[in-house]
Structure 1
Amino acid sequence: MRIYKFEEIQSWQKAKELTIGVYTNFSDNKDYGFKDQIQRASVSVMNNIAEGFESQTNKMFIRYLYIAKGSCGEVRSMLYLAKEFNYISDEQFEKLSNLSLDATRLISGFIKKLNE
């Protein structure tokens, strides 16, 4: 199946869902450094997928996908801190962590497919 625009990519769609979740759950957080970092990391996931797709070469796209995958890990790592600092509930942690893991799996699968 040919993809014509990055918005069709499942991992980008999942990353967008993650970003919306992060922004929603941390909108009132007064730890501005923390809030800024987790928001930037979540945006990085979806933006790197989009930027890599627009690069129009598989080699560059794969590089951007690895960066996006790394940002997923950063978001998940920060979610553990958010839970420890009581910035989010256990339920919010589970939801956002699962979105991050889903995005990571989709990105990994996409990298594998592009490497075939």
Structure 2
Amino acid sequence: MKFQKLEVWQLSFQLSCSIYKETKELRDWGFKDQITRSGLSVPSNIAEGIERQGVKEQIQFLYIAKASLAEMMTQAMIGREISYLDKDFVEKILSDAEKISAMLAGLIKSIKARKQPS
């Protein structure tokens, strides 16, 4: 399975790119670094997980991607509260993140089912 063909990877890739674009002028380097790194971690861990041989490793990396997504969502909500990030932008990425999270859960479930003996 090529990770680039997965819709969940494509959506998380776009989410990460949008975070970089939205925060490019942000002067709080600590906040900017943290939210861009957590956003970057999502498609990166999906890609790494899908390219792993073992089912256990695949699932582990997908869970890491899911956790990074939750971290990014938290940072986005904080960014909105402290007026670092536009409210509409945050609502959009939170909505996208919810969709990505559900897709990751479905992919994990699918991989786990494949692992089960018939």
Partners of 2:100 and 2:9 lie apart in 1 by: 8
Aligned-pair distance for 1:84? 0.7
Number of matched residues? 113
Counterpart for residue 116 of structure 2 = none
Mapped pair 1:103 → 2:95? no
CA contact (8 A) 1:17 1:99 kept: no
Which of 90, 94, 108 aligns to 2:91? It is 94
CA contact (8 A) 1:12 1:46 kept: yes
How far, CA to CA, are the matches of 1:92 and 1:34 in structure 2?
16
What stretches of structure 1 move > 3 A for 4+ residues in a row? none
Residue identity over aligned pairs, in percent, reads 35
Structure of greater Rg? 2
Unaligned runs of 5+ in 1: none
The normalised TM-score by structure 2 is: 0.92
**Structure 1: how far apart are the matches of 2:53 and 2:109?**
17
Residue 85 of structure 1 corresponds to which residue in structure 2?
82
RMSD of Structure 2 on Structure 1 (CA): 0.8
Residue type of the alignment partner of 2:83: N
